[in-house]
Amino acid sequence: MAFMNRRDISFILYELLDAGQLARFPFYHEHSRENFEAILDVAEEIAREKFYPHNAKGDQQEPVLVNGKVAIIPEVGEALAAFGEAGFFAATQDGDRDGIQLPFLISQAAMAFFLAANPGTSGYAFLTIAAANLLATFGSEEQKAAFLPSMLSGRFFGTMALTEAGAGSSLADITTVAEPAGDGQYRIKGNKVFISGGEHELAENIVHMVLARIKGAPAGVKGISLFIVPRYRLNGDGSRGEENDVALSGLIHKMGYRGTTSTMLNFGENDRCIGYLVGKPHNGLPQMFHMMNEARIGVGMCATAIGYAGYLYSLDYARNRPQGRSPANRDAGSKQVMIIEHADVRRMLLMQKAAVEGALSLVLYVALLADLHKASTDEAERRNTGMLLDILTPVVKAWPAEFCLEANNQAIQILGGYGFTREYPVEQYYRDNRLNAIHEGTNGIQALDLLGRKLTMHDGAALSLLCVEIGKTISQASGESSLNEWATELAAALNLVKQTTGVLLAAREKVEPELFLANASLYLQMFGHLVVAWMWLRQAQAATRQLPAATESGADFYQGKMQACRYFFRWELPKIRHQAKLLSSLDDSCHAMRDNWF
């Protein structure tokens, strides 16, 4: 059973994003489309052979405590070993750190296969890579030497330990304390919750990246520091030493995403938990956000991949499940048709296709921006891609989390009663994907980030730049008869979003901040639909370029892109008009609602 569409990945990488262009930068000069393909071959094979087969089992037999240890089905460790042996933990790292300087774009394309095959097992890899990147960016040479090689080979795994019971979305309120213990060491004391991969026996050690306050630090986010807190300390020779007083206080049982164990951890119950400060004191939040921004792209990819797996499953089902007849056929004795023959089933498939392929193109586009930002030798290009990356990060996290979940909802509906049973994978996809609107900053937090911060940063330069980029696509597409109608629609949508944004930003000076931000989530939805419509027009452009020379089956693929674009422009994009109207009126229905009226 296909869980990811390699053809679509290739289309987006090469026909849409011209991934080969990255070879022009010194950092990526050893790469080429050929070796990208070889890497994706490996990813696809490992995902299919080692990740996909135990996706349901990992859900049904979630991690449990056995004699004080977290027991996980053996397939998880085997899959991650294969992932590590193929070099995926280290792939994006510098060559001098056993990496191959793989573009983030290609690593994300590879992750699409792993995440679609098995998000629960992939979670451990995702977290380890994120922790390693954080360490690689901000750690001292000594810290890197001690921990990175083991993390990049998959011997040590990593976590992100931010959340506390009293401080979920509000990191300003974390209370975990770090007390200087001399020699650059700190004694860590506090409790963390929702720590994914926080305890297990999959790796020799677990490297927790912990946010805590150094005693006497300022209140709020300005007093947060970042620490490396290993489960086991390291001996002088780098081998695993004694336990570091990090205690599991409980496993959290979730609705989905069960394969990735979620834990409550007590640091320093016995005052013996040692942490190593990363970088300067009180600099933890910006450091963590460096990781967080990358993780938000990863969450967008996860949502997309699970949505994609559900789409492909329900597509296959619709092609093979006979049921009913065409409305014109009154002969009850005639053969039933496959349900894909019903327009309403095609509607549910087309909705999914528009969502998951739109999301995939967006996530990979943003991943490309990260590469350009990192590797470009042109300062203006670095600055511009950095700004686009910043403004699109809330979108790339939230849009797939919302709409690819809705895609999974439609996948269940296509399977009908069967879709509601645990004999078919689509209900698990729906449960797994529900997490993505919550973690790494809820979608509501993304909305506040976009409207409250990203729009106005650098005097609105990021927004202007994005509008210029969208405008370029519009003017290119306007000259093409097959695209002209959508170019006009996108131009109208762009103007509407600009106008609405102008109204909001003007009001910002006059109204209380609560009212200005009250409808941020609606703004994010509107903005996201604009961006995804842009992605669809770009995909239609690429399809239009390729169609004349395509073979018959190749033409089917491109026709599918054209039709999904059409669907998005007709069924989805016009929804922003109503949203823009509500936003422009500074509608206060939610803001004015009072607690005691509920």
Site for its own copies in 35-74 (CB under 8 A): none
Minimum Å distance from CB 292 to its own copies? 15
594 binds its own copies (CB under 8 A): yes
Minimum Å distance from CB 27 to its own copies? 37
Distance CA 132, CA 474 (A): 40
Q: 81-106 in b/e burial notation, b at 16+ Cβ within 10 A?
A: ebbbebbbbbbbbeeeeebbbbbbbb
581 binds its own copies (CB under 8 A): yes
Report residue 20: phi and psi, to 5°. -60, -25
- Tokens in use for 106? 């290609």
Site for its own copies in 212-271 (CB under 8 A): 218-222, 252-257, 262
- Tokens in use for 280? 């300067």
187 binds its own copies (CB under 8 A): no
CB 305 within 8 A of CB 2: no
116 binds its own copies (CB under 8 A): no
Q: Count CB neighbours of 286 within 10 A.
A: 14
Here's the x/- map for its own copies, 368-387, by CB under 8 A: it reads as --------------------
Contact region for its own copies (CB under 8 A) — 277-285, 296-304, 325-333, 533-541?
325-333
Contact region for its own copies (CB under 8 A) — 110-118, 166-174, 205-213, 276-284?
166-174
Minimum Å distance from CB 131 to its own copies? 19
Site for its own copies in 442-481 (CB under 8 A): 442-444, 447-448, 452
Q: Is there a catalytic annotation at residue 402? A: no
The one among 97, 144, 325, 498 contacting its own copies by CB under 8 A: 325
The one among 7, 24, 29, 422 contacting its own copies by CB under 8 A: 422
513 binds its own copies (CB under 8 A): yes
332: exposed, middle or buried (C-beta count within 10 Å: 0-12, 13-18, 19+)? exposed
439 binds its own copies (CB under 8 A): yes
595 binds its own copies (CB under 8 A): yes
Minimum Å distance from CB 518 to its own copies? 4
CB 126 within 8 A of CB 439: no
Minimum Å distance from CB 288 to its own copies? 17
166 binds its own copies (CB under 8 A): yes
Contact region for its own copies (CB under 8 A) — 9-17, 478-486, 534-542, 562-570?
562-570
Comparison of 143 and 163: residue with beta carbon closer to its own copies:
163
593 binds its own copies (CB under 8 A): yes
597 binds its own copies (CB under 8 A): yes
Distance CA 539, CA 564 (A): 10
596 binds its own copies (CB under 8 A): yes
169 binds its own copies (CB under 8 A): yes
Distance CA 393, CA 454 (A): 9
343 binds its own copies (CB under 8 A): yes
Distance CA 285, CA 136 (A): 16
How distant, in Å, are the alpha carbons of 379, 426, 503 from that of 273? 43, 43, 52
Comparison of 379 and 595: residue with beta carbon closer to its own copies:
595
400 binds its own copies (CB under 8 A): no
Angle subtended at Cα 138 by Cα 132 and Cα 141, rounded to the nearest 5 degrees: 85
Minimum Å distance from CB 500 to its own copies? 15
Which residues fall within 8 angstroms of residue 32, CB to CB, at 6 or more apart?
20, 23
Distance CA 117, CA 42 (A): 14
The DSSP letter of residue 595 is G
Minimum Å distance from CB 549 to its own copies? 18
The one among 172, 181, 457, 506 contacting its own copies by CB under 8 A: 172
Catalytic, out of 62, 357, 402, 440: 440
519 binds its own copies (CB under 8 A): yes
Long-range contacts of the stretch 434-437 (C-beta < 8 A, 24+): 434/255, 434/256, 434/405, 435/254, 435/255, 435/256, 435/257, 436/299, 436/300, 436/302, 436/303, 436/306, 436/397, 436/400, 436/401, 436/404, 436/405, 437/398, 437/401, 437/402, 437/405
Beta strands in 259-353 (DSSP E): 262-267, 274-277
Distance of CA 580 to the CA centre of its chain: 26
Comparison of 31 and 192: residue with beta carbon closer to its own copies:
192
567 binds its own copies (CB under 8 A): yes
Contact region for its own copies (CB under 8 A) — 106-114, 133-141, 152-160, 515-523?
515-523
Distance CA 449, CA 571 (A): 28
Comparison of 353 and 373: residue with beta carbon closer to its own copies:
353
- Tokens in use for 548? 């004349």
559 binds its own copies (CB under 8 A): yes
The one among 306, 412, 477, 504 contacting its own copies by CB under 8 A: 412
Angle subtended at Cα 397 by Cα 87 and Cα 32, rounded to the nearest 5 degrees: 35
Distance CA 452, CA 518 (A): 11
The one among 20, 99, 281, 560 contacting its own copies by CB under 8 A: 560
411: exposed, middle or buried (C-beta count within 10 Å: 0-12, 13-18, 19+)? buried
175 binds its own copies (CB under 8 A): no
589: exposed, middle or buried (C-beta count within 10 Å: 0-12, 13-18, 19+)? exposed
Angle subtended at Cα 261 by Cα 41 and Cα 158, rounded to the nearest 5 degrees: 65
Here's the x/- map for its own copies, 263-292, by CB under 8 A: it reads as ------------------------------
Contact region for its own copies (CB under 8 A) — 122-130, 131-139, 141-149, 440-448?
440-448
Distance CA 329, CA 71 (A): 56
Q: Which residues are catalytic?
A: 440
